[in-house]
Amino acid sequence: MDLDYTETQELLRDTLRGFLEAEVPFSQVRECEIEKRSDDKLWAQLVEHGYLGLPFPSTIGGGDGGFVEAGILIEEVSRRAAVVPIVEVLTAAITLQRHCPGSSEVVGDILNGSAIVVPAVLEANDSFDSFELAASADGALRGEKRFVDYAAVATHHLVSAVGAEGPGLYLVDARDPAVKCEPIPTLGRTPQSVVRYDGAASIRVGERDAAAALVQIGRALTCVQLLACMDASLEQTVAYTNVREQFGRPLSTFQAVQHHAADMGMHAESSRFLVYEALDCLERDVATDEQIAVTKASLSRAVPDVVMTGHQLHGGQGYIEENDLYFFTIRGKDRALAWGTAEECLEIVAANVEDKAQWL
């Protein structure tokens, strides 16, 4: 694949970056963290300007883009550390649109802002492949999901459950009294809940393959968030070391500092290739679980190294939360654990390590 953006994609990136820098000051992000809420104002703006529709066909109100365009949107939103369910909603919406026949109306509601749908996958067994939450013959769900991002913000949950037809995806109205969301604290300071379904009404919208696709898409799009955290940390660190002087000259002129910055840049740039190759493969429907797992494992390992090196190069400035650097450290470490840790993803790779490589 050609890893360079097209002219249209570059314009999209630049437009998004300018818009978000103007509309989402970090003070606004801090308010959301303190008040433990989502940024409803920004979400309304993303809907109003049609950004949510970028990866969807124009027949349902989208922009005729694909996974790469979704990645550009997520990357720019994440570079502002915005507290909005951008990955969660796009993961659910893309899964519904591509893998759940008959869900166009729901996707349309997402794009026009009347619905916010987020995935609910993990249970107490901490496995993405098996779940015990049960759906009765009439669609009533009983069970518990854990670590559901933006569960209390959402209008609907896209839940993996087991029904009479086997495992699949079920759409649940989160405003049903039988849906109980218990907020839990997170490292990244974004809304997350344990959700209990006590006979909540649901509609089966996807089969086993759709449930597997949901995990694959969520894992890949989360990698874009990790990439954004590395890029933002690197950008801020380079800017700081260029103006901070020690012994009468900028920190950036010291070879040791240059070596650390080069390591940060190497991690970020190599991660970019992995992420956008994975998105391109998803678009062409040739991505494998192993490829997505390798990408997630690589970025989950790289993020802590990059962001902590950024703090080290900031010196004392890196220890205060008044410095915007901390946004990307806590978000990066939090998302490194989401949708499978490095170790969990490497287990997926190890299970098929003896298979013949596709490129040989």
**Do 328 and 266 belong together in one domain?**
yes
**pLDDT above 90: percentage of residues in the chain:** 93
Residues 270 and 300 in one domain: yes
- Number of domains the chain is built from: 3
User: For residue 247, what is the DSSP state?
Assistant: T
Return the axis-axis angle of helices 208-243 and 289-314, rounded to nearest 10°.
20
Provide the pLDDT for residue 359.
53
Residue 105 falls inside a structural domain: yes
pTM: 0.95
CATH of the domain at 50: 1.10.540.10
In which domain, by residue range, is 96 found?
A: 7-115
Classify residue 301: in a domain, yes or no: yes
> Does 277 share its domain with 300?
yes
Looking at residue 5, the DSSP 8-state letter turns out to be P
**Are both 136 and 25 inside the same structural domain?**
no
Is the per-residue pLDDT at 1 higher than 70? Answer: no
Mark whether 196 and 221 lie in a shared domain.
Answer: no
Q: What is the pLDDT of residue 32?
A: 97
Bridge partners of 145? 195
Q: Decide: residue 83, CB within 10 A, 0-12 exposed, 13-18 middle, 19+ buried.
A: buried
Band (pLDDT 50/70/90 cuts) for residue 346 is very high
% the chain with pLDDT above 70: 98
356 domain-assigned:
no
Q: Beta-carbon neighbour count of residue 347 at 10 Å?
A: 13
Q: Is the residue at 339 inside a domain?
A: yes
Rounded to the nearest integer, the mean pLDDT of the chain is 95
Same-domain status, 129 and 148: yes
Beta strands in 115-250 (DSSP E): 117-120, 134-135, 141-149, 156-163, 166-173, 179-183, 192-200, 202-206, 245-246, 249-250
Q: What is the CATH number of the domain that holds 184?
A: 2.40.110.10
**62 inside domain:** yes
Residue 2 lies in a domain: no
Residues 195 and 228 in one domain: no
Domain assignment present for 254: yes
* Single residue among 98, 115, 132 that ends a domain in this structure: 115
Which of the listed residues 115, 143, 165 is the one where a domain comes to its end?
A: 115
pLDDT (tens digit per residue) in 278-332: 999 999 999 999 999 999 999 999 999 999 999 999 998 888 999 999 999 999 9
Please tell me whether residues 194 and 129 are part of one structural domain.
Answer: yes
Q: What is the CATH number of the domain that holds 262?
A: 1.20.140.10
Rounded average pLDDT over 250-255: 95
- The H helix count followed by the E strand count for the chain is 11, 10
Domain co-membership, 12 together with 89: yes
Do 38 and 144 share a domain, yes or no?
A: no
The bridge status of strand 117-120 relative to strand 156-163 is parallel
Residue 359 resides in a domain: no
pLDDT of residue 360: 43
Residue 356 has pLDDT above 90, yes or no: no
Measured distance CA(190)–CA(86) in Å, rounded:
12
Q: Is the pLDDT assigned to residue 355 strictly greater than 80?
A: no
**Are 139 and 104 in a shared domain?**
no
> Quick one: pLDDT band at residue 151, thresholds 50, 70, 90?
very high
Q: Does the structure show a pLDDT above 90 at 196?
A: yes
Task: Check whether residue 214 and residue 321 sit in a common domain.
Answer: yes
Q: Which of 115, 140, 172 is a domain's end point?
A: 115
**Over residues 126-134, mean pLDDT:** 92
